[in-house]
Amino acid sequence: MKSYKEMSKEELKAELEGLNAEYQKYLAMNLTLDMSRGKPCKEQLDISMEMMDVLNSKVDLRCEDGTDCRNYGCLDGIPEAKQLLGDMMENHPDNIIIYGNSSLNVMYDTVARAMTHGIMGNTPWCKLDKVKFLCPVPGYDRHFAITEYFGIEMIPVPMSPSGPDMDMVEKLVSDDAAVKGIWCVPKYSNPQGYSYSDETVRRFARLKPAAKDFRIFWDNAYGIHHLYEDDQDYLVEILDECKKAGNPDMVYKFASTSKITFPGSGIAALATSLNNLEDIKKQLKNQTIGHDKVNQLRHVRFFKDINGMKAHMKKHADIIRPKFEMVEKVLDDGLGGLEIGSWTKPKGGYFISFDSLEGCAKAIVMKAKKAGVVMTGAGATWPYHNDPADSNIRIAPTLPPVEDLKRAAELFVLCVKIVSAEKLLEE
């Protein structure tokens, strides 16, 4: 097909007329489809249902060190859960705290603690005039919501397929003691599905922060969330790398089983240096007596070990791979060669990132919404919901059934074409 950019105004007008007629048909369908959030679909939830059977009234609920998981106690998690999530996160169990059902909650609490009490003896952030975070963009809206909520200034840093612009990260972190953190989704990033290169991770570990309490917030949400068993991304382990580089305390690493078992009922974990753990536990012991150990035990008894968890992840991949491939095919077929958008082809994670022509994203999302297809709000992938180019759109293909997804993707393609044609006609 001919590129929209090469079309004459007349050709574009004719094209637009056809597109608008097609859009009317979609309006008549009264669709209600959701591609907005990274939610697992029903079939994905179903593969964890046997986890509901591993604990029952006949089962001994003591964990391997003899602790009765039903009672109070055990601030940092039962040993076998630390082992399992340690293996999942590629960290030693001694470096792990097991939390409740949400790693987002752990990240929020980590920022909140730094605000009120500071990190390892440094001034509490709430006592400073200015605190800044670096935000690789496009990125995860809920990360940005936390830092925005605490009044932390967010500085966008461009992403590339190998990770954030490290020249810029190094400069900002070295030059400005107000820069206290950076949000990272290092593997199968949200929303592009990029994985940081070995060099990127090593440069992270070798940062020379002006602030002693600078921390990398390493949200490894999709560490084992591959789409292709034989074509996976690998990530250099950041805690090890920081230790080697003489920056052992520079990173907080987060993960959870939210997209492994049940999103609302999984277990979350933090991995970090022993110094950081000691600092954190001083606070944690005031916040809780301990997290849900029965649920920790349930997860361990279900998976048995990391191999069980990896086998489980293949089942997830089998369910969602066709969805990613369907969306990619619809985008290829519908937009290939038109020069009105580009998109990523991730090997894992939960999202596809789409970039429209400048100034089109909001209009595309609105047009799709009008026809009943909800996308993540345009701008959501940028701090303050402010995408200066108005071009990035996050596509979340996991939730809808594949047939619905096909229709939703086709409508999305149509909306991209219409809004782009209109835009080009204005120029």
Footprint on this chain of a copy of itself (rule: CB under 8 A): 37, 39-40, 42, 45, 48-50, 52-53, 55-57, 59, 61, 68-74, 100-102, 104-105, 108-109, 112, 115-117, 124, 126-127, 142, 145-146, 149-150, 258, 262-265, 283, 285-295
Residues 117 and 122: their CA atoms lie apart, in Å, by 8
Residue 150 or 243 with smaller CB distance to a copy of itself? 150
Spatial contact of 191 and 381, defined as CB atoms under 8 Å apart: yes
Give the list of residues 6+ apart from residue 422 with CB closer than 8 angstroms, or none.
16, 363
Shorter beta-carbon distance to a copy of itself: residue 203 or 298: 298
Q: How far is the CB of 31 from a copy of itself (least distance, A)?
A: 20
> Shortest gap between Cβ of 411 and a copy of itself (angstroms)?
24
CA distance 111 to 115: 6
**C-alpha–C-alpha distance, residues 327 and 329, integer Å:** 5
CA dihedral over 222, 224, 228, 232, signed as positive or negative: positive
d(CA 134, CA 155): 5
**How far apart are CB 276 and a copy of itself at their closest, in Å?**
18
Minimum gap (Å) between residue 163 Cβ and a copy of itself? 26
* Residues making up the chain, counted from first to last: 427
Centroid of chain to Cα 245: 26
- Here the tokens at position 203 are 């440069």
Nearer to a copy of itself, 61 or 155 (CB): 61
Closer of 67 and 174 to a copy of itself (Cβ): 67
- Which one, 105 or 275, has the nearer CB to a copy of itself? 105
Q: Going by C-beta distance under 8 Å and a sequence separation of 6 or more, which residues neighbour residue 188?
A: 194, 195, 222, 225, 226, 233, 346, 347, 348, 349, 350
- In the complex, least distance from residue 398 CB atom to a copy of itself, rounded to whole angstroms: 11
User: Please, what is the minimum distance in Å from the beta carbon of residue 373 to a copy of itself?
Assistant: 19
Closer by beta carbon to a copy of itself, 288 or else 307:
288
How many alpha carbons lie under 13 Å from residue 295 in its C-beta half-sphere? 18
